[in-house]
Chains A and B, each alone.
Chain A
Amino acid sequence: MLPSHLPIANKILASLPRSEYQRILPQLEVVQLTEGEVLCEAGALLRYVYFPCTALLSLLTLVDAVEVFAVALVGREGVTSVACALGSQYSPFRTLVQSSGAAMRMKARVFTAEFRANAALREVVLAYVLQLTMQISQTSACNRFHVIEERLARWLLMTRDRLSSDHFHMTHEMLSQLLGVRRVGVTHAAYALKQRRLIDYSRGAIDIVDGIGLQAAACSCYRMVEGRHGKA
């Protein structure tokens, strides 16, 4: 049983009335997630919903079982498997652990029941579904119109915001998966950002050196999503 007096890392859970949070607490379990772990396959039955605390997750789309790109990042500002809230039992996305860390999880069936019964939970989850839908739409447009370097800057900033850190682990291989481009494209783009002294990287460890500069290097998509809802 989790101590209920600790600060709540996940923002969705934190924005519930405290009494509501305490009521559902027994249904929540802390789990440690490892980078690279697949929490749910596209088209698979949803078993759990995850409220990330320090972990970072990505939602990937697939064509013919091959990954195409990520449509969203989900960190402490969010929850996975919103399909459960919306009435489906199946995930349209592959949910991948992008960055190791902790999350709280709840059985999908329990979450669905809680969502139905609990107006406060419904309100905060639906507000998140709105944000998620916008992130997916934004990414759709971004992938269509923007070039790798500015897209890369955007995703690095989105990662920074969700992990609340300028230093994190993300390989070029992982970034090429997220962006849906060949790895060589990521290497070139990352190098360009490094030349501009906006980031530094070495063996998968990324440092954001100049956050303001990186924002300027990012496409407008970063500003459009974060600007509307504030930083994660």
Chain B
Amino acid sequence: MTTSSLPRQNHLLAALPSAEFKRLEGDLELVPLSLGEVLYESGCKLSYVYFPTTSIVSMLYVLEDGAMAEVAIIGNEGMLGIFLFMGGETTPSRAVVQSAGWGYRLKAERLNAEFKRAGPLMRLLLRYTQALISQITQTAVCNRHHSIDQQLCRWVLLSMDRLSSDTLLMTQDLIANMLGVRREGVAEAAGKLQRAGLIRYSRGRITVLDRVGLELRACECYAVVKREFDWLLSDIPPGDPQHVLGPSASD
């Protein structure tokens, strides 16, 4: 695990105009995120927000009886802790590090102060919120509608996109929680994908062998989520202070 990490490896931070980024730069603290580490517990106060660079975090919604359902996967495309700028002080989700690496954390008050300036950071984070809501919604559909191996395909693809890597260290228990199945179900689904030549799965490590094949096998949920993120972040070129909406709606 390399210790060199730059804030701009996180796409949201990279999309900030340099003036905004410079204001935050000194307050961004590089932190190691270890596999299985719980960054937020359900109901806990949000003291920091996190911008992963080389790690992935799984957001799980925790029910009263402890049952957990996947809500979203967050990596270098995003930020953990959006509820903060919506006036929430606590988070209803549990955030668990799914793939070890690095990230930057920022004190809650610092983020709120910058958000309240109602400038590029606000517009960026609101767009990200929209993409995240789409991901949460699509995940809800996927969990209900699609087979375990399709869900695993989606999960692997989204993770790889956020890691910018071909290899992922997978913990069966964490994935089992995400997909809401037993660990055996995950092993079986991974086995199927391996037999189809799409991944190599050995000693907990998943390597993508056939990316196109994985995308074909995944349900449309992967494409929907990817499209939302691509579209929402695409017309903000790095350093551009203008927020371009696109062609206006005709009435």
User: Which residue numbers of A lie inside 8 Å of B, CB to CB?
Assistant: 45-47, 61, 63-64, 68-69, 71, 82-83, 85-89, 92-93, 107-109, 112, 116, 119, 122-123, 126-127, 129-130, 132-134, 136-145, 180, 220-221, 223-224, 228
B180 touches A145 (CB 8 A): yes
Find out whether the CB atom of B126 lies under 8 angstroms from the CB atom of A86: yes
Shortest beta-carbon distance from B143 to chain A in Å? 5
Contact A61 B92 (CB under 8 A): no
Known: A137-B71, A137-B92, A137-B93. A92 touches B133 (CB 8 A): yes
New A-B pairs, 10, CB < 8 Å, besides A69-B144, A122-B118, A134-B92: A63-B220, A71-B140, A89-B246, A127-B86, A129-B86, A136-B136, A137-B69, A140-B69, A140-B140, A220-B64
> Given that A46-B249, A92-B133, A109-B249 are known contacts, is A145 also in contact with B140, CB under 8 Å in the complex?
no
Nearest 5 interchain pairs by C-beta: A140-B140, A141-B69, A130-B86, A220-B64, A86-B130
Residue in A closest to B130 when the chains form the complex, CB atoms: A86
Question: Min CB distance, B203 to chain A, in Å?
Answer: 30
Q: How far is the CB of A49 from chain B (nearest CB, A)?
A: 11
Whether the Cβ atoms of B69 and A136 lie closer than 8 Å is: no
Let me know if B232 is at the binding interface, CB within 8 A. yes
In Å, the complex CA distance between A134 and B136 comes to 10
- Cross-chain contact A133 with B69 (CB below 8 angstroms): no
Contact A141 B118 (CB under 8 A): no
- Structural contact, B180 and A61, CB atoms closer than 8 A: no
Chain A residues within an 8 Å CB radius of B87: 123, 126-127, 130
- Chain B 50-73 interface residues, beta-carbon cutoff 8 Å to A: 61, 63-65, 67-69, 71
Closest B residue to A92 using CB positions: B134
User: Is B107 part of the contact surface with A, judged by Cβ < 8 Å?
Assistant: no
Q: Interface size of B by Cβ–Cβ distance < 8 Å?
A: 43
Per-residue A-contact encoding for B228-251, CB less than 8 Å = 1, 0 else: 100010000000000101101101
A-B contact pairs, 6 of them (CB 8 A): A47-B251, A71-B137, A126-B86, A140-B143, A145-B67, A220-B63
B129 on the interface (CB 8 Å rule)? yes
CB-CB < 8 A to A86: which residues of B? 126-127, 129-130, 133
Which A residues are in CB contact (< 8 Å) with B243?
A: 87
Residues of B within 8 A of A141 (CB): 61, 63, 67-69
State in angstroms the CA–CA spacing of A71 and B61 once bound together.
15
Partner of A140, one of B71, B130, B132: B71
User: Which residue from chain A places its CB closest to the CB of B247 in the assembled complex?
Assistant: A89
Residue interface mask B117-154, A partner, CB < 8 A = 1: 01000010011011011101111110111000000000
A148 to B133, CA, bound (A): 25
Q: From residue A138, how far is it (CB to closest CB) to chain B in Å?
A: 7
Contacts of B123 in A (CB 8 A): 87
Q: Please tell me which one of the listed residues B65, B140, B248 contacts residue A136 in the complex, with CB atoms under 8 A apart.
A: B140
How far does the alpha carbon of A221 sit from the alpha carbon of B249 in the complex, in Å?
A: 37
Residues of B within 8 A of A221 (CB): 63
Instruction: Report the minimal beta-carbon distance from A148 to chain B, rounded to whole angstroms.
Output: 13
Most chain A CB inside 10 Å of its own CB: which residue of B85, B129, B139: B129
